Amino acid sequence: MPDHSKVAYQVMWNRLISVVEEQAQALVRTAFSTSVREAGDLSAGVYYDKGQMLAQAVTGTPGHVNAMADAVGHFIRRIGRPNMFDGDIYITNDPWEGTGHKHDITVVTPSFHDGLLIGFFACTAHVTDIGGRGFGADANDVHEEGLYLPIMKFAERGEVDRTLLSLIRGNVREPDQLVGDIYALANCNGIGHRRLIDMIGEFGLADLAGISDFILTNSRDATLQRINALQPGSAEGHMRIDGYAQPIDLHVRLSIEKDRIVSDWQGTSGVDKKGINVPLVYTKAYACYALKCAIAPEIPNNAASLAPFEITAPENTIVNALHPAPVALRHVIGHMVPDTVYDALDKLLPGVVPAEGAGCLCNFQVSLRPRMDAPAPSGAVRAEVLTFNSGGSGARPTLDGMNATAFPSGVMTMPVEATEQVGPVIVWRKELRPDSGGAGQYRGGLGQYMDVGAREGHEFDISAMLDRVDHPALGRRGGQAGGATSITRSDGAAMQGKGRQFVPHGQKVLMEFPGGAGYGEPENRDPDDVKRDLALGYITPDHAAEHYRLSAAEIDDVLARAKLGEAF
């Protein structure tokens, strides 16, 4: 094998990142589910033959890719190396050996070169339906949450298991969509494999041993250098959130030590009766992500750069739920993990981390059907429509929070047009929510208004997956809380933030998604920034007067100039 220089290995490393990004983009272009095509709820990565992640795609979510970092090892153990052949494709949606719930399907493909197993490609995508109760928090155990696919072969030596496909089709509401997504996952791995083989030929490699050692050694050394440059110490973080029927308390003790940072979740609430529990693999994914963002953001994600971040949690806490706990909405709790970590990290590294944001995605799934209270028109249909939406992110130490932007998941808000084309749903309103960003020297990001109904002749159930109804995002360093979540029916009937709820014909669901919290004392905000917010409609005159002490004369002047179209 040629003796490659560090420069050559760095070029190969960059190439691998490009390979997995092409892998991810292929999945975006070919997936059937709007959650993948429009929101980017996916991940893609390449692995050394021992199962260690070498590179991940830029496109995708940390919950998927950081959880998937552990998944390939499970595939190797379950399938067994002697049973792996060129042309194989493996599949699972095991919440504890995949990415945390059954609605994520992980596909792994072994990569062979000249008859030798040199590595693996893996990808994950969120699918709209996997059977069972449907996507929501209502299940009492994991068996109710849909079809379970243990780690198994989807294809062997290029031959797809038709019996498995028949079982899948017979257990889900959208069989064509789901099977299409599985083939898209398999196809994107195939694209990654072909690009890897091209790279191997170009650089004269026999396997990935040399480049793997280079990537993992340099990533580990760089991460340890960052950790060891920090002042050792420990601090505790806490967050209280809505939960399902009762509030949930997240507790973490963060310890910066030599060569590692430990996150211990002792004291966190126990397993919930409903499906908001989190397998440890998903807690690890988001705790590691939070720490990497704050401490080593520019070091690429791989097995070695993640290893120094150690995550522990007592069994049967809500962040380390064991089988058969229901886990369908594990993201609702899991997305709150980073801000809990930051509550502790802010005490150790002041001026680094943002204020709390909306945290979890503001998702809901609509199950539509012909109305049953009266004759339905002949064109009425059944459909499942899942939409991903975001509240505001928290203000940063030197910048405002981002409006309607998902942190920590990073997925995109789905366009109205994409939502309405997959079923008879109507989005009557979707716009930024003024005053929802917490006041501060730096303002929290704004949430959204969203009103949803069905086309004439339909009724529907909505599975709400919201939080921050009773516990809005909290500010840091004197910043104020963001706006709380609200969900009601258009006839005034109260609705819950989580759970499947009936909406009769002609009614809408009116939602207000939460804003991010502020950072720093509001009195220290630059007056020009306050006036700009007012001119843009991010805050109302009353908010400007109450929180930023803008005078009536100043408010009138800003509104008059804004009406004339003058820039701020």
By the 10 Å C-beta count (0-12 exposed, 13-18 middle, 19+ buried), 30 is classed as middle
pLDDT digits (tens, 9 = 90+) for 26-52: 999 999 999 999 999 999 999 999 999
Three-class SS of 170-185: CCCCCHHHHHHHHHHH
In the chain, what are the domain boundaries? 6-220, 354-522, 526-568
Q: In 3D, which of 452, 453, 422, 361 has the Cα closest to residue 174? A: 422
Pair of tokens at residue 533: 């917010």
Three-class SS of 275-328: CCCCCHHHHHHHHHHHHHHHHCCCCCCCHHHHCCEEEECCCCECCCCCCCCCCC
pLDDT band at 2 (very low <50, low <70, confident <90, very high): low
Q: Using an 8 Å Cβ cutoff, are 327 and 277 in contact?
A: yes
Q: Which residues contact residue 374 at a Cβ distance below 8 angstroms, ignoring those fewer than 6 apart?
A: 505
136-166: b or e for each residue (b if 16 or more CB lie within 10 Å)? bbbbeebeebbbbbebebbbeeeeebeebbe
Pair of tokens at residue 456: 């004439």
Q: What pLDDT is attached to residue 394?
A: 98
The order of strands in the sheet holding 159-160 is 53-56, 42-48, 116-126, 104-113, 89-92, 152-156, 159-160
Three-class SS of 70-131: HHHHHHHHHHCHHHCCCCCEEEECCCCCCCCCCCEEEEEEEEEECCEEEEEEEEEEECCCCC
Q: Using an 8 Å Cβ cutoff, are 128 and 59 in contact?
A: no
Strands 486-489 and 104-113: unpaired
pLDDT band at 3 (very low <50, low <70, confident <90, very high): low
d(CA 298, CA 49): 25
Residue type, 223: T
pLDDT above 60: residue 1: no
Half-sphere exposure of 262 (CA within 13 A, CB side): 12
pLDDT above 90: residue 164: yes
pLDDT digits (tens, 9 = 90+) for 353-393: 999 999 999 999 999 999 999 999 999 999 999 999 999 99
Q: What pLDDT is attached to residue 4?
A: 76
pLDDT digits (tens, 9 = 90+) for 513-557: 999 999 999 999 999 999 999 999 999 999 999 999 999 999 999
Q: What is the DSSP string of 477-538?
A: TTPPPPPPPEEEETTS-B--SEEEEEE-TT--EEEEPPPPPPBS-GGGS-HHHHHHHHHHTS
Q: Across all residues in the chain, what is the average pLDDT?
A: 96
Number of Cβ within a 10 Å radius of residue 81: 10
Residue 359 sits at the vertex; the CA angle it makes with 127 and 18, to the nearest 5 degrees, is 55
SS3 category, 418: helix
d(CA 98, CA 126): 12
d(CA 324, CA 139): 11
Task: Answer positive or negative: Cα dihedral of 31, 408, 119, 24.
Answer: positive
In this structure, what DSSP letter does residue 145 have? G
Phi, psi torsion values for 375, nearest 5 degrees: -60, 135
pLDDT above 50: residue 469: yes
pLDDT above 70: residue 566: yes
Pair of tokens at residue 64: 């998927």
Indicate the range of 5-9, 258-262, 456-460 predicted with least confidence.
5-9
Task: Answer positive or negative: Cα dihedral of 385, 99, 77, 87.
Answer: positive
Mean pLDDT of 67-74: 92
d(CA 188, CA 109): 10
Helix or strand holding residue 553 (H, E): helix 552-563
Q: pTM for this one?
A: 0.96
Q: What pLDDT is attached to residue 65?
A: 84
Number of Cβ within a 10 Å radius of residue 522: 21
Mean pLDDT of 388-412: 96
Q: Using an 8 Å Cβ cutoff, are 34 and 192 in contact?
A: no
Q: Using an 8 Å Cβ cutoff, are 151 and 74 in contact?
A: yes
Q: Using an 8 Å Cβ cutoff, are 141 and 101 in contact?
A: no
